[in-house]
């Protein structure tokens, strides 16, 4: 594990441009870690099914190719 002192030494050894790149990458990493993955329920809410109006009542016919879409 890196200690604060080791980190300070490493940061002090960086050139200004390298330090800016390091800071930007830290900020980017922090932003991506703060993004929350959508829950399963929120993903399921976005599912849209296109089917005939009698699909639920006649599902057996559609699954057995007795009725066509």
Q: What confidence tens digit (pLDDT) does each residue in 34-68 have? A: 777 889 999 999 999 888 999 999 999 989 988 88
**At CA 4, angle to CA 21 and CA 30, rounded to 5?**
45
Count of beta carbons in the 10 Å neighbourhood of residue 40 = 8
User: Per-residue pLDDT averaged across 5-27, rounded?
Assistant: 92
As a whole number of angstroms, the distance between CA 19 and CA 24 comes to 9
Contacts of 53 (CB under 8 A, 6+ apart): none
As a whole number of angstroms, the distance between CA 45 and CA 37 comes to 15
Q: What confidence tens digit (pLDDT) does each residue in 25-35 have? A: 989 888 887 77
- Looking at residue 2, its pLDDT comes to 82
């Amino acid at each position: 594990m890196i200690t604060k002192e080791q980190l300070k030494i490493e940061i002090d050894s960086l050139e200004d441009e390298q330090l800016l790149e390091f800071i930007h990458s830290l900020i980017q990493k922090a932003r991506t870690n703060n993004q929350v993955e959508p829950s399963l329920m929120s993903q399921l809410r976005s599912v849209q099914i296109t089917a005939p109006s009698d699909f639920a009542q006649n599902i057996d016919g559609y699954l057995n190719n007795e009725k066509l879409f």
